[in-house]
Structure 1
């Protein structure tokens, strides 16, 4: 687009401050890109031919304009368009600098958005050959990847080709792209089809028809993978490599570019543009992966503390040195739940725990998922063949009940995504703990999640999620199968010492045990219910353990006591 054509668009109301007295050649300069720049040194983002949009945030006083304009002039910029919102007008210092260097200067009135200017230019760009479009994307790419924000370039693809493009995770969560977002069922169905295609080692792009709509699904892998000239070719090569390696389930962490068209029939120029888009989104994914690495380190440190002899009271101090706590300044324990997962492709091949970890990190932050938490509140790591995740729960003020993970919602979400991918012989099992209000409850909660995982592994479904309530119902459902005499004998043997002690000493050990179990072994909740100091409660529990010879820190012990109370 020529500078003269842009100035002639009346609805934009652009005013040429420097350049009216120049020769016609200045106004016939071509505009090949429209970056928005508010950095004092924009040189590394410029290749020539740009209409630079700036809000003048870099300008504070006279003299600031000279170095900025000199950089633009040396880079071969077509013109500078300065917004009037920041300072109420374009400062005289900027006008003088542009006159010295012969750089056309345009004033953008407050009511005209930079987006409107960009849209008008891009409408003209779409009539240019595809190679020029790819060049435009490349210029924008260097600006936008610094911020890890692909939405603007996906908007460029929509403007240039008239197509809606979105980026989804392998669980169907929309990460970037066109709005409104796809319907949740559609997004999950696309993610499910994508995983099935990757599992079958089909070549990308994957063509999927839902209803009367045809979609192309293109894998977005990390930047290290995208080293071949074509991103689509690279994704196909990656699929072949995974097949050769026997399959490593890396697709559970993929992002996928969803294009509302059959890209396999696109001309070479448009395919080149798509390749550049995939590269940009891969850059953004790399930023995302780096952020998740910080959370993974946090989860690993917590797991190490669980296996150590460090007293729980010292855990917050030990965790202050993690990168996550340093950045967020969150150094106190937040109410949390553990999620533990295992999977099998068949009877002999486990699903890699690292792949399950990435999948669950996505599944747990869906808006329609098991609990609404931001990404920074889900920390995951790997422990042998198990994925272990710590989900920090939001806190609700007032009398509203505290949120917890909805096991049924999590199972529905994962079932919809994984059923095709797992095939007839595969399965994924998850165990969820009770909420952990303090570090002292963490070891017990992790054990509880692993017990729930064992119960889930016995389930008939391909994806099974079990939580604390399921443990109780599982044990109690077996009681009617046991003869009455056996049940009563078991209850008498386990609870008899407590009944005798209460009768002789007029204590309340048995009611204390019932309250402790009803509060999911939470010291603070149980103490509040019984109106006791926590230390007094600990004394009573220690007495119960001494009389019965049982350790109430073990989940199996608590389930035995619960069964005995119901049976007696």
Structure 2
């Protein structure tokens, strides 16, 4: 801001005493001092506020004003309290050295003047930074968020962090505030102001209207948004746009690695042979000699879209190098088993912390045991089965690990992929093909019959058909497969084959 702007702040009541021809000088900051020679604490461009306590006689004015001139200050504002106005020798020295002099009425505190000037300076800088951030957003420079946050702190004195919904610091100075993630997920509306250890922080979503709260990143600004001028509020919007673009740039779905990971997951859940899966595994950067864990997540459709679910699962597994994809509404990830801590415990903590951001909807996660490259299909099936068990608990968030699964699923996971595949095809393919050719429902009938433990009446009720219709369908199943559903061993085989789908 320029010196002449001080005269437009009518609530301050400042009056110009001398220096009208110097009012186009820029004010960088406001400083209060009553030292006779404050030059060592000045760096140029300041408006110096003084109560004239340094003046014991006319000669002191020459010393004081001369020191201000050598320091390159923008101007001097003298209070009325001691002398009722600037003594003539002060006016004369200011005229001699070309220092504009303002009179500060006795009723106006220096703190009020400093606050007004600081607010105006911050407003101007915020407007400038908004333009800079807008250019950065348009150019998508790709230099990372750290330099942008440093720019905001350097020019506005505002510390700022970019954080994920799991509490990971994406960018920002150490240390980050401690309670902001829970406050962001729990906030009824945004922006939200939080007081943490005596400091106030303002929280903003990055993509509030297009991304679920549980999957979004958010901004943390030091300070209370309620005290900010409009220009500083506009800056938060521009920064959110920059962060949103940077986040999209980091999304690996459009990268070669991300596409290969998606193809790998699709191969695993299809009927691909183990050799084909392992060859694709090597292309993703996950070596076949390592051991792996599969993690599967699903959410209600109104909470997280499939793409968001995949991003969130990668965020939960951040640091473990997941290869992730989405199949049939489930996000599926493979991670090296490693030795750096318990995966299931980390997932439990992360998922539980996300619960407020789900807004009452459900997020279910299943985790497999450790397998080698030959057992990837079994691991994914195990994790998918565990995920379904988690969903059956009907809790907002639930995680089921392989140690909670039924014994038959653990047994199936240990069987080689090709054996499981052939077992399933031999039993179910005749029924699947018949259903496709005749628009019938034999596979679903078989599944319902086994779930009802072979009860004809209960099965017919569940299928909404007559018992005679059910008997005809079961007879057709037995003819197509050569099995007898009155025999326990044949029922067990069908049950396992259905579990392998």
- Normalized against structure 2, the TM-score is what? 0.52
Task: Flag the 1:141–1:356 CA change in 2: closer, same or farther, 3 A.
Answer: closer
Give the match for residue 505 of structure 1.
Answer: none
Alignment partner of 1:277 out of 201, 215, 239: 239
Task: Flag the 1:351–1:285 CA change in 2: closer, same or farther, 3 A.
Answer: closer
- Unaligned stretches of 5+ in structure 2? 2-25, 27-120, 417-487
- The C-alpha deviation readout for 1:222-269, integer Å capped at 9, x for no partner, is xxxxxxxxxxxxx5xxx2xx6xxxxxx634332111112222442133
- Unaligned stretches of 5+ in structure 1? 2-29, 31-124, 222-234, 243-248, 366-371, 395-401, 477-515, 524-547, 560-568
Alignment partner of 1:302 out of 261, 264, 274: 264
In the alignment, the residues of structure 1 paired with residue 353 and residue 186 of structure 2 have an alpha-carbon distance, to the nearest angstrom, of 10
Alignment partner of 1:411 out of 340, 348, 365: 348
Paired residues for 1:126-165 under 5 Å? 129-137=125-133, 145-165=140-160
Q: How far is the alpha carbon of 1:181 from its aligned partner?
A: 2.5
In the alignment, the residues of structure 2 paired with residue 552 and residue 445 of structure 1 have an alpha-carbon distance, to the nearest angstrom, of 21
Give the match for residue 454 of structure 1.
Answer: 388
Give the match for residue 399 of structure 1.
Answer: none
Q: Quick check: 2:298–2:331 contact (8 Å CA) kept in 1?
A: yes
Give the match for residue 216 of structure 1.
Answer: 202
- The C-alpha deviation readout for 1:512-568, integer Å capped at 9, x for no partner, is xxxx96x97288xxxxxxxxxxxxxxxxxxxxxxxx9799999959x9xxxxxxxxx
Match status 1:206 vs 2:192: yes
In the alignment, the residues of structure 2 paired with residue 251 and residue 420 of structure 1 have an alpha-carbon distance, to the nearest angstrom, of 5
Q: How far is the alpha carbon of 1:448 from its aligned partner?
A: 0.9
Match status 1:357 vs 2:310: yes
Which runs of 4 or more aligned residues in structure 1 lie more than 6 Å from their structure 2 counterparts after TM superposition? Answer: 139-143, 548-555
- The C-alpha deviation readout for 1:183-236, integer Å capped at 9, x for no partner, is 3xx243134225xx4xxxx4x433344564432222223xxxxxxxxxxxxx5x
Residue-pair matches, total = 309
Q: How far is the alpha carbon of 1:167 from its aligned partner?
A: 0.3
State the secondary structure of the residue aligned to 1:310.
coil
Q: How far is the alpha carbon of 1:338 from its aligned partner?
A: 1.3
Give the match for residue 431 of structure 1.
Answer: 366
In the alignment, the residues of structure 2 paired with residue 462 and residue 471 of structure 1 have an alpha-carbon distance, to the nearest angstrom, of 20
Paired residues for 1:78-117 under 5 Å? none
Give the match for residue 337 of structure 2.
Answer: 393
Alignment partner of 1:192 out of 182, 185, 194: 185
Give the match for residue 397 of structure 2.
Answer: 463
Give the match for residue 181 of structure 1.
Answer: 176
State the secondary structure of the residue aligned to 1:178.
coil
Task: Flag the 1:190–1:429 CA change in 2: closer, same or farther, 3 A.
Answer: same
Q: How far is the alpha carbon of 1:341 from its aligned partner?
A: 1.8
In the alignment, the residues of structure 2 paired with residue 410 and residue 279 of structure 1 have an alpha-carbon distance, to the nearest angstrom, of 30
State the secondary structure of the residue aligned to 1:387.
strand
Match status 1:338 vs 2:272: no
Q: How far is the alpha carbon of 1:386 from its aligned partner?
A: 1.9
Q: Quick check: 2:303–2:358 contact (8 Å CA) kept in 1?
A: no
In the alignment, the residues of structure 2 paired with residue 412 and residue 208 of structure 1 have an alpha-carbon distance, to the nearest angstrom, of 23
Q: How far is the alpha carbon of 1:335 from its aligned partner?
A: 2.5
Q: Quick check: 2:193–2:200 contact (8 Å CA) kept in 1?
A: yes
Task: Flag the 1:344–1:213 CA change in 2: closer, same or farther, 3 A.
Answer: farther
RMSD (CA atoms): 4.1
Q: Quick check: 1:428–1:462 contact (8 Å CA) kept in 2?
A: yes
Task: Flag the 1:278–1:298 CA change in 2: closer, same or farther, 3 A.
Answer: same
Match status 1:315 vs 2:277: yes
Task: Flag the 1:434–1:265 CA change in 2: closer, same or farther, 3 A.
Answer: same
In the alignment, the residues of structure 2 paired with residue 337 and residue 296 of structure 1 have an alpha-carbon distance, to the nearest angstrom, of 18
Give the match for residue 442 of structure 1.
Answer: 376
Match status 1:260 vs 2:222: yes
Report which of the two structures shows the higher radius of gyration computed on alpha carbons. 2
State the secondary structure of the residue aligned to 1:390.
strand
